[in-house]
Amino acid sequence: MGIIDNIFTLLIPWFSTYGLLIIFVVMLLETIWIPMPGEFILPFAGYMVLVNQLVFVEVMFVAITGCLIGSSIAYFIGYAYGRMTANYFLGKRRKLAISFIKTTRWFQSYGETTVIWGRSMPLIRISISYVAGMFKMNYLKFLSYSFLGWTLWCTILLSIGLFLGEKWENIISYLPILTGIILFIIIVIVSRIFYTSYYLNHKAKK
C-alpha cells in the first residue's frame, strides 16, 4: 500500500480545487490496473460532500464515468489482443497472475454476470474487464453490467465517507463488511433480473 498511500497524500492538498478532476482521473487509471487510491479517494470525497465542499451527484457522475471509460479501455485491450493480454498478466507479479486466473475461471463458470458482482472484489474488479474483452462479451452488455456494478461500489464507498465523517480513514476496517453487503445487494438484483427474464419468457411461450 506504500505507493498508493504516497499518491493519496500528494493529492489531498489539491482536492478542494480539483476534486472532481482528481476523482475522474484516479478512477479511470485504477480501472486499467494502474495503482491508484480509489478506495481512499471516494470515502474522502464522501467526507468532502458532508462538509459541503463537493456535491454528491457530481462526484457520483465523474467517478462512474471514470470507471466506465477505464473499464472500456481494458475491455478493448482484452478484445483486441486476447492471448497476448493473458500472457502479459501471467508474466507479472504472482498476485496479479493469480487474480487473472481466478477471474477467468469465474467468468467461465458463472458467466457474464461476473462483470457485475466482480466489481466489489479486490483486483478482480479490474481484471474482469480484460477477461470480458478476451471472451468477446457484447460491449453494450458489458457496459450496462459495468455501470450497475460500479454504481453500487461507488455509492457504498461515498456513503461510508458520509457516515464516518472525519473518521473516513477507518474505511479499511469496514471493507470486508462492505464487500459482503455489496455482494448481497448484487446477488439480489441479479436474481431478480433472471427471475423476471425467465417469467416473461415462460409467459410468452404460453
What is the arithmetic mean of pLDDT over 17-46? Answer: 84
pLDDT: which is higher, 156 or 10: 156
Helix 83-90 / helix 56-81 crossing angle, nearest 10 deg: 110
- pLDDT at position 86 is 74
- In tens, the pLDDT along 97-145 reads 787 888 888 898 888 888 988 887 777 888 899 999 999 999 999 999 9
Write out the three cell numbers for 161: 465517507
pLDDT: which is higher, 74 or 53: 74
Q: Please work out, in degrees rounded to the nearest 5, the angle formed at the alpha carbon of residue 189 by the alpha carbons of 183 and 117.
A: 35
- pLDDT at position 85 is 76
- In tens, the pLDDT along 144-176 reads 999 998 998 898 888 888 877 766 666 656 666
Whether residue 197 has pLDDT greater than 80: no
> Measured between alpha carbons, how far is 66 from 63 in angstroms, rounded to an integer?
5
3-class secondary structure, 35: coil
Q: Please work out, in degrees rounded to the nearest 5, the angle formed at the alpha carbon of residue 116 by the alpha carbons of 106 and 120.
A: 85
Residue 57 — very low, low, confident or very high, per pLDDT cuts 50/70/90?
A: very high
What residues make up the domain containing 30?
2-205
pLDDT: which is higher, 194 or 162: 162
How many structural domains are present in the chain? 1
Q: Which distant-in-sequence residues (6+ apart) come within 8 Å of 126 by Cβ?
A: 30, 31, 32, 33, 74
In the chain, what percentage of residues exceed pLDDT 90? 25
3-class secondary structure, 157: helix
Write out the three cell numbers for 44: 474522502
Q: What is the DSSP letter of 37?
A: -
Q: Give yes or no for a contact between 130 and 78, defined as CB atoms under 8 angstroms apart.
A: yes
69, containing H or E segment: helix 56-81
- pLDDT at position 75 is 94
> Measured between alpha carbons, how far is 66 from 12 in angstroms, rounded to an integer?
19
Which residue is listed with cell 471514470? Answer: 66
Write out the three cell numbers for 139: 460491449
Q: Give yes or no for a contact between 63 and 153, defined as CB atoms under 8 angstroms apart.
A: no
Write out the three cell numbers for 168: 473516513
Which residue is listed with cell 459482503? Answer: 180
